[in-house]
Structure 1
């Protein structure tokens, strides 16, 4: 019986492959001291040393996700409906296939005033409920305000949340599926007429922060990255959708989320942290590591930190107001469009809509007949 238990503890059956449980780095995998020591040990001394390390980290992420290349995107036409005219922006309900039969669901925010070209911004959301994910006030205000600044903005559901009910959120290969969805979200955003591929940003909080630094690490099309309340030397993400596959550890190889986020360099990146979660040490631990990596590229001005020691884990008003100027400066957005006569950023015109107004699938717009339903069916889809 002990041998059976030992085997069960050692391996996890995932898509027909055995994954060693000791290769999964969940939650606070390191102590704070261990996280700090790891970064000190892996501080790169030269650009060539870092570039070699960066390539290894990217390769290990792809190997751990069983995603060495992104799958071909279905050729189906995106679903877009229920356009709403707001104060300085519009909102549409959208869906598109990331895999045959799996629909990424979300909302597209656009500036009301036509422009010759637009920056594009991906806004993945974090874990949360009442309401879930993209329907939360902090998410709607972030997307609407960025659209008022002149960007076309896409927010989409985490798997198992919002309209994305084709599988449970704790899907064994959730980190793989959500990375595929993030890549498809970028493809969709770039397909919109007028979106400038040289001006693409991405920002999300918590689990959305993980999606932000993972896609930015793997896809050079992301030009500006703002992971909020997530980058930590000792905390690896507590959800299956972040650390449920061996992207941080394999045999003698080990990395952490700071090194992964540092793969953004030398592209502009803003870290936003607070004093009440795993990002509380950013000023003393994580940010100095980032500065050193950017220093190797001679791009120290491209990395910044806003640390709010008295705040908690969210994407609240002060965190958003730290992000807007950074995005405006690097993506050519109009910050004055959201600044009042006192010189303060004003989010008041960003109206928070009811969930029913933002949902993609309803009686009038049913889920497509080819939608793959259930964890088992979605896992089989990921094996193809």
Structure 2
């Protein structure tokens, strides 16, 4: 029997180009899978599946189960962070930075930096900061600026490495089950963040760009402990993620249904979510397609005011200063952060943040080596995940 996608392709073939169907991977939806015209038609059809909260939640349960089964995450039990090492504390103007590692699965170590406000005696919000693709993005200035500013606002912030990047070099980034491992590491990172002293478990946010945006909306979709989410330059009706870590396992096409990243992002409803988009990538249509589509779903909960879109038509694919400013305002409002602490003359000022060298942020060094029980190499990690 033909898949619903093949039927749809046949119907649309006379009007627009066919989607990028790969016969070698029929269960995957990858890259620019639809044309923009197809994406509009697909979402018009998807919207017919629900018209109120009850019908949406039936659909949402199906999509959520599809993520869990398609990623094989339902076969894992991610324990509390263990073998935790925190070292090399550095204090700056209103915040500190520490280098962190802990075990997520047997032999797998999550690596990152913990940014804390220098304050005591009060409950604090927490923010997870995954990053996008590139050369060790956790170590870059734009990531440090985001984390330091949020810490100065009063949040405990954890920035962690994608697999195969930064200090997490136990395997290549593009192992076949990268989606499964990154979801496990993100869940472990959330467990670690929630274990920190004085954390308010009702004020937990998450924000990342590009591939980190995918991690953000995927974890928010399956874990209600994420109370506020800000996926940056990633939620798209026609683009399913260009890397195996985003779309290399069948989370979008299941025997029971097909879905898109727009519907997956909408699983955050009615929790606050900010979509940050720009004119230079696959989020260029967000104000006219993705945002209104998701806002309709929020309306089923009477929560339209919890969803926002900041669109920057003249910008490109990054987590630059204007995108960070939008995220700061939204996170401050919904996580009750003290944004005035980072303002000078009424404007957010990042200039006093320390920009550290990669060596200062390095997790594994001569004094803190990779633990002896850590798995090494793609074959060993893949065997664990199979």
TM-score normalised over the length of structure 1: 0.93
1:57 aligns with 2:63: yes
Over residues 5-50 of structure 1, what are the superposed CA-to-partner deviations in whole Å (9 max), with x where a residue is unaligned?
xxxx856xxxxxxxxx111111001111111111111123111111
1:166 equivalent among 164, 170, 191: 170
Deviations 1:308-353 (A, max 9, x none): 0000000000000001011011111001001112x11101111111
Q: Deviations over 1:35-83 (max 9, x none)?
A: 1111111123111111000000001111111121541426633110000
Equivalent residue, structure 1, for 2:219: 215
Q: Per-residue displacement from partner, 1:148-195 (whole Å, max 9, x unpaired)?
A: 000000000000000000000001000110000000000000000101
Structure 1 match to 2:87? 81
1:143-222 map, 5 Å: 143-222=147-226
Find the counterpart in structure 2 of residue 94 from structure 1: 100
Partner in structure 2 of residue 265 of structure 1: 269
Range 246-255 or range 192-201, more displaced: 246-255
Q: Is the 8 A contact 1:64 1:245 kept in 2?
A: yes
Question: What secondary structure sits across from 2:98 in the alignment?
Answer: strand
Higher alpha-carbon deviation: 300-309 or 69-78: 69-78
- Matched positions, count: 363
Aligned to 2:365: 362
1:312-351 correspondence to structure 2 within 5 Å:
312-341=316-345, 343-351=346-354
The 5-angstrom pairing of residues 41-52 of structure 1 reads 41-43=45-47, 44-52=50-58
Q: Which runs of 5+ in 1 are unaligned?
A: 1-8, 12-20
Q: In structure 1, how many angstroms separate the alpha carbons of the residues matched to 2:82 and 2:198?
A: 21
Q: How far is the alpha carbon of 1:90 from its aligned partner?
A: 0.1
CA-atom RMSD in angstroms: 1.2
Residue pairs, 1:77-156, within 5 angstroms:
77-129=83-135, 132-156=136-160
CA distance in 1, matches of 2:308, 2:121: 29
Give 2:12's aligned residue: none
Distance 2:179 2:353 in 1: 31
1:291 is paired with a residue of what secondary structure? helix
Give structure 1 regions of 4+ aligned residues with deviation exceeding 4 angstroms.
Answer: none
Counterpart residue number, 2:309: 305
- Corresponding residue of 2:44: 40
Q: Give the SS at the match of 1:310.
A: coil
C-alpha distance in structure 2 between counterparts of 1:115 and 1:149, whole Å: 15
The reply to whether residue 66 of structure 1 matches residue 72 of structure 2 is yes
Q: Is the 8 A contact 2:78 2:188 kept in 1?
A: no
SS in 2 for 1:166: coil
Query: TM-score if structure 2 supplies the norm length?
Result: 0.92
For structure 2, the residue ranges without an aligned partner over 5 or more in a row are: 1-21
CA distance in 2, matches of 1:70, 1:152: 27
> Could you tell me how far apart the structure 1 residues matched to 2:77 and 2:254 are?
23
Matched residue SS, 1:181: helix
Offset of residue 252 of structure 1: 5.9
